[in-house]
């Protein structure tokens, strides 16, 4: 009977239920469940509650009927010691998400299979013996969740590592700048033909009193310009690409992780 199971699947997509299985000693049955639960299975064939001598911790097996008030019956089963209810119906149960106990819905065909298992135990043992079942949500949903979430975790970890690397590079550049003294520009520097008269970063001419930072490579810049460059963008000279970090040589910093902002 594929049609009732299709209806149950559609109901699961529309409500708070999820695909799952009922596992017992002789097999497994497809179901739609609200939560996982388990215990000895006790059939309840009428709208009445479980027998008064039922041991607490059982799972009630009931056949859905419009004549029974499911919410009231489930509350009474809970009071009698039930930990869950397996409801058999070939159509969606309206009160699925409002019952007092965790619930699993199966088809009437599967209900008959479980009842037959109970009857077989009764014939063999000569008494009303119960067999245990376990209701489990479908683990494939968890795997799908991991498949969707895993790339997000990887991207997040990469972003955190990238930010930490940029922070460490910035701090290293700041410590290196503390070892590079500042100079004050004056007109006397004009007599040195080897010196640039304008900052290569802002392209503004040096003026008397300007604070100049001369990097180890010999290139001069406004201190405010080159300090921002080295601590916020990349710890390399803007002209010759030599690192300002003491342990680095004249190399292409893009290959050696000196980038602070990308």
Average pLDDT over every residue of 162-190: 82
User: Could you state, in order of their start, the residue ranges of all structural domains in the chain?
Assistant: 2-138, 166-255
Confirm if 158 and 182 have CB atoms less than 8 A apart: no
Over residues 226-246, the pLDDT tens digits come to 999 988 888 889 998 888 887
pLDDT of residue 224: 93
Would you say how long the chain is, in residues? 262
- Start-to-end CA span in the chain (Å): 60
Please give the pLDDT value at position 221: 92
Architecture of domain 2-138: 3-Layer(bba) Sandwich (3.50)
Considering the entire predicted model, what is its pTM?
Answer: 0.46
Short-list 45, 20, 31, CA closest to 110 = 31
CATH architecture for the domain at 166-255: 2-Layer Sandwich (3.30)
According to DSSP, the residues that pair with 212 across neighbouring strands are 183, 222
Record the tokens describing residue 44, joined without a space.
């309840």
141-162: average pLDDT: 82
């Amino acid at each position: 009977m594929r049609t009732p199971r299709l209806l149950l699947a559609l109901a699961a997509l529309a409500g708070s239920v999820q695909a799952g299985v009922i596992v017992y000693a002789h097999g497994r049955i497809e179901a739609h469940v609200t939560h996982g639960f388990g215990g000895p299975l006790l059939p309840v064939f009428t709208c009445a509650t479980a027998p008064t001598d039922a041991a607490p911790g059982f799972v009630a097996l009931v056949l859905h009927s419009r004549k029974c008030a499911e919410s009231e019956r489930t509350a009474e089963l809970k009071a009698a010691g039930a930990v869950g209810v397996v409801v058999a119906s070939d159509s969606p149960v309206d009160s699925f998400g409002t019952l007092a106990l965790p619930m699993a819905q199966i088809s009437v065909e599967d209900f008959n299979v479980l009842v037959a298992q109970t009857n077989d135990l009764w014939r063999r043992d000569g008494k009303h013996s119960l067999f245990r079942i376990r209701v489990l949500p479908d683990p494939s949903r968890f795997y799908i969740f991991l498949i969707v979430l895993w790339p997000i975790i990887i991207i997040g970890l990469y972003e955190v590592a990238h930010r930490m690397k940029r922070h460490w590079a910035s701090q290293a550049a700041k410590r290196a700048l503390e070892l590079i003294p500042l100079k004050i520009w004056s007109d006397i520097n004009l007599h040195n033909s080897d010196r640039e008269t304008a900052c290569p970063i802002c392209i503004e001419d040096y003026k008397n009193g300007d604070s100049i930072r001369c990097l180890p490579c010999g290139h001069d810049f406004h201190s405010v310009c080159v300090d921002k460059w080295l601590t916020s963008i990349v710890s390399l000279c803007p002209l010759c690409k030599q690192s300002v970090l003491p342990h680095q040589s004249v190399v292409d910093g893009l290959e050696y992780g000196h980038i602070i902002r990308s």
